[in-house]
Amino acid sequence: MEDNLKLSNPKQTIEIIQKYNFNFKKSFGQNFLIDSHVIDKIVRAAEITKEDNVLEIGPGIGTLTQYLAEAAGRVVAVEIDEKLIPVLGETLAEYDNVEVINEDILKCDIDSIFGGESFKVVANLPYYITTPIIMGLLEGKSHFESITVMIQKEVADRMKAGPGTKEYGALSLAVQYYAEPYLAANVPPNCFIPRPAVGSAVIRLKRLIEPKVSVKDEKLLFGLIRAAFMERRKTLLNAVKNYREMNISKENVEAALTEMGIDTRIRGEALTLEQFAALADKLSD
Ligand code: SAM
């Protein structure tokens, strides 16, 4: 399709919205892209080729989908809003490699979509469910290679943050345990209609073949991390002590830290993923 006829041209988007008398639903996080440069950046960051299967979450009226269809072998787009299904029927009519499924992505059996073949996830995500979607994919068993998504800038910063920064937290560690993050672009509100209240960013998470650290008890690792950041101003020792979901004594943590040569007054926000894993291993012995 010629670029000026695509929905990334704001004129085309407005025309189709008026034609279908479409009302944006805030509750579904509907902010549609209207900037071809941003869409190009998303598709480039996702490194899509004609060999690729792509899962798009929330195609909206099909703006990003039109570009994905031209770059990929096959695209499956899952959209919760039934009002958008007839719109997508029109805007994607000329692409025979796109399938639209009217479902809630959080209830979808993702692996059955591509019959066990690998796929890349690409989306301008509905921001209200960014974390459940991404953590569901990372912790799940589906065969995705990478996730390239538009999310809130503040959440992207947290995903790629390292120790000792104010953005560093349980989300950074959970994401970096499974994937390698790369910030592909910062995107201002005027690239969408309606404009979101916050800045956005495109982040790519490439799945690691093995988790970044090997640990005897994954549940214990993430329990420790959760405890450490529940009260991030406290020392790790005091944060763990106050966290009743974990059956770990302050004395054991103190002994493990000393054995590791780490100051026992350290805060969780100063520990690397490797140090959290080593601590979890010592505590599970
Ligand atoms: N991809 C389009 C674009 O870039 O212009 C639309 C992106 S908009 C930020 C998010 C889309 O996700 C909306 O179309 C919304 O209806 C859809 N959506 C919201 N919650 C969803 C869910 N649980 N499952 C599938 N789609 C969802």
Query: Model confidence over 11-28: pLDDT tens digits?
Result: 999 999 999 999 999 999
pLDDT in tens, 94-123: 999 999 999 999 999 998 999 989 999 999
- Predicted local confidence at residue 231, as pLDDT: 83
- Predicted local confidence at residue 10, as pLDDT: 96
The reply to whether ligand 1 has any atom less than 6 angstroms from the CB of 62 is no
- Predicted local confidence at residue 145, as pLDDT: 97
- Predicted local confidence at residue 249, as pLDDT: 83
Give the atom of ligand 1 at the shortest distance from the alpha carbon of 39: 4
Mutate to test the pocket of ligand 1, among 55, 81, 107 (most ligand atoms within 8 A of CB): 81
- Predicted local confidence at residue 111, as pLDDT: 86
- Predicted local confidence at residue 32, as pLDDT: 98
The reply to whether ligand 1 has any atom less than 6 angstroms from the CB of 269 is no
pLDDT in tens, 91-101: 999 999 999 99
Mutate to test the pocket of ligand 1, among 30, 149, 150 (most ligand atoms within 8 A of CB): 30
The reply to whether ligand 1 has any atom less than 6 angstroms from the CB of 8 is no
- Predicted local confidence at residue 232, as pLDDT: 82
Mutate to test the pocket of ligand 1, among 28, 91, 187 (most ligand atoms within 8 A of CB): 28
Give the atom of ligand 1 at the shortest distance from the alpha carbon of 105: 24
- Predicted local confidence at residue 203, as pLDDT: 98
Identify the segments of the chain with pLDDT beneath 50. none
Tokens representing 215 are 């640990």
> Measured in angstroms, how far is the CA atom of residue 23 from the centroid of ligand 1?
14
pTM, entire model: 0.95
